[in-house]
Amino acid sequence: MKYKKEIKNLGHSFKYAGTGVWSSFKSERNMKIHVFVMCLVILFGIILKINLREWITCIILFAIVIAGELFNTAIETTVDMISLEKSPQAKLAKDISAGAVLILAIASAIIGLIIFIPKFIALF
């Protein structure tokens, strides 16, 4: 009987996690941008026939950037909930979490350019 309850709880966990991802996508402009860029990379990856190692790299980077944006959203939401008035500490926490996502996105873009620029050059 305990096993069925654990499976049910696991199912709820996935449902709640999916709700969190979907809520972030609906409410956060930057999440929409990250997903749009991810779709472009997937499209170009298919067109340019990137290899397995390059796909794995892209998928890991997608996960890192999307997870970073989810952490950022969670931090910003928590800060807004706790700090009802504007405060320098609240702003700093939000700015730092946004900065972390920026660093992840820049590093991912650089790695993406390393993967894709030679493929574009090879077309011409």
Write down the pTM of the prediction: 0.85
Please provide the DSSP assignment of 25-39 as one string. Answer: HHH-HHHHHHHHHHH
79: helix, coil or strand? helix
The tokens 């972390």 sit on which residue? 100
**Of 28, 69, 76, 85, which residue is the catalytic one?**
69
Active site residue 54: no
The answer to whether the beta carbons of residues 53 and 93 sit under 8 Å apart is no
The answer to whether the beta carbons of residues 48 and 119 sit under 8 Å apart is yes
29 burial (CB, 10 Å; 0-12 / 13-18 / 19+) is: exposed
The answer to whether the beta carbons of residues 74 and 27 sit under 8 Å apart is no
Angle between helices 88-123 and 29-48 (to 10 degrees): 20
pLDDT tens digits, residue range 18-70?
999 999 999 999 999 999 999 999 999 999 999 999 999 999 999 999 999 99
